[in-house]
Amino acid sequence: MHMLDDTSGRRAAVAPTLAVGLALAIALAGCPASPPPAASKRSRGAGAARAELALVNGRIFTARSDSELVAALAIGNGRVLAVGSRAAIAAHIGAGTRVVDLGGRFVAPGFHDAHMHLQSAGDALARLDLSGLRSLDDVLAKVRAAVAKRPAGAWIVGRGWDQTLWKGWHPAQKDARWPTRADLDRVAPRHPVALARIDGHVLWLNSAALARAGISAKSADPSGGTIVREGKSRQPSGILEEKATALVRIGEGGGVAAARQALLRALQRARRRGVTSVCELGSSLDALLALEREGKLTARVTLWTSLGSDLSAATARRAKLAAHAQARARAGGAALVRLGALKGFVDGTLGSRTAALLEPYADKPGSRGTLRQPPGVLEAQVLAASRAGFQIALHAIGDRAVRRALDTYAKLAPAARARLRHRVEHVQVIAPADVPRFAKLSVIASLQPCHLSTDQRWVEKRLGAARAAERGYRWRALASAGARIALGTDWPVEPVDPLRNLFAAITRRRVETPAVVGWHAEQALAFGQALRAYSAGSAYATHVEARRGTLAPGMDADLVVFDRDLWSAVAKSPRALLDARVSATLLAGKVVYGKLGR
């Protein structure tokens, strides 16, 4: 028999059969975790449960509202025992309690990154980092240096290039030219080179890599993807867009051991930033479970799996959903790993001009972007998965894609939508008429404010100033219309830096510029509102709000301690977010990074 423990701490035996596994997944998928145990009589008076740790004299944000601050918190057995004044937690303090005087420092629930790619981020940390480079020559110099260290024929792999940063690369507004294989061939004639764009939706290859992948003038574009060509010759230019990137299989070592190392690198970075929970796509379930067994998993991971593009046939859909059910059963005994949503893609990205727009791009008038699924396929996928009880998370950046995602969800029964809490990821461009539909359809808006820090350099070129103002990054409008909001970073597309992300959320300003007024600042979130979306909001979007996301009695003691009274500092200047540092990160009441004392 296998044991299943879906975050509530209650275990149920399940037979290791496909039918039972699927039924169990249907019963559990998308359902909220059971509520925390009610405070016992002992915790309200004499004989109250003794705390292992008490934090006092602090500024502790509970996230039960946008503004509640308390001075003290008691923790025992991995849970919050009490919050409030020093007197309110006094009954829990005994001879064995460690009492830490925070000296007025700020504490918040641990950051719950609602959208990232943990293993991919760990891989990126070990590959060529091309982010922030300001010219094509800078990128080629990094590739040249890597070539010098590796034997001929070995892959050179990198990520992070962004042609919108390259000086002089787009001298004319409507110039949409990509770099080419010839650029890379100059510095790497005998090494296959594969460089992912910062958004991960475009791959840049040299001639050797194209040959390894078998991509030629005769290769057909896959549905939902494009092999960019060179004029009349139709030879591949070296750029693959969207689903065409799947044509390339990088010849590197893999398996659980490599995944484990990538995850360790990513987890180290995440805990230093105060991240205690993540929703993520692409990691190895076996590697995550191994790290938990070893006591090295320092974040709670809700692992998404791909909705896939192979669900157009009923038999394929059934097989795919059965595989997801089996994976959930395998993760059932884990305390820190759970299987969550099925992730699908509606479109691409604005930076690549593959986000699907209702009207043509201002700087590429012949294009409205790319829809990655043919008509009817996305709807069939979502309907089948929803009927099987799975939460769905759809990547949708352009307003045409967001509308298609909402239209698809609208075809589902209202009770199922409310129970499963389907999501739209990114929502960077949205038509005004679609803003109130999130609340009406019980759909989560999963946002990454840090994207605007990058995108505002060129978003008006993509959309035109008037359309960008009306439809771009409408965070306040969504919140005001009653949408449930969750925040994340999309790491490694953006850094896993919650404080930088919060700065973008409350100012809509670029980190690099001293501007006082942000880009359409009327759409900014308030600090408490953004903090709550980053904890309680993400927990709700993940169906775990009964166990984490707030600092309240019975909740998991996942929290982050900062080096200052951040609440007061931000009220004076939002740039305090960029200067602050994490003093300690706690998972289930245990320090996994830093130290509590000064």
Ranges of each domain in the chain: 32-110+549-598, 120-247
Contact 204, 187 (CB under 8 A): no
Question: What is the structure's pLDDT at 37?
Answer: 42
The residue among 20 and 365 whose pLDDT is bigger is 365
Whether 172 has a pLDDT exceeding 60, the answer reads no
Task: Give the tens place of pLDDT for each residue, 493-538.
Answer: 999 999 999 999 999 998 877 667 799 999 999 999 999 999 999 9
- As a whole number, mean pLDDT of residues 319-347 equals 83
- As a whole number, mean pLDDT of residues 307-312 equals 60
- The pLDDT mean for the chain works out to 88
Q: Which range has the worst mean pLDDT, 6-10, 79-83, 359-363, 467-471?
A: 6-10
- Cα distance between residue 2 and residue 571, in whole Å: 51
Closest CA to 111 of 76, 63, 155, 156: 63
How many Cβ atoms from other residues are within 10 Å of residue 173's Cβ? 11
194 φ, ψ to 5°? -135, 115
By DSSP bridging, strand 444-447 and strand 485-487 are parallel
**Sheet containing strand 202-205, strands side by side:** 128-129, 156-161, 193-197, 202-205, 235-242, 225-230
The residue among 314 and 77 whose pLDDT is bigger is 77
By DSSP bridging, strand 72-76 and strand 2-4 are unpaired
Whether 38 has a pLDDT exceeding 70, the answer reads no
Count Cβ neighbours within 10 Å for each residue of 388-421 and write b for 16 or more, e otherwise: bbbbbbbbbbbbbbbbbbbebbeebeeeebebbb
Query: Would you say domain 120-247 falls under CATH 3.30.70.270?
Result: no
Whether 12 has a pLDDT exceeding 80, the answer reads no
Query: Whole-model pTM?
Result: 0.83
- Cα distance between residue 65 and residue 81, in whole Å: 19
Whether 72 has a pLDDT exceeding 90, the answer reads yes
Whether 371 has a pLDDT exceeding 70, the answer reads yes
- As a whole number, mean pLDDT of residues 218-227 equals 90
CATH of 32-110+549-598, one of 3.40.50.10440, 1.10.150.530, 2.30.40.10, 3.30.200.20: 2.30.40.10
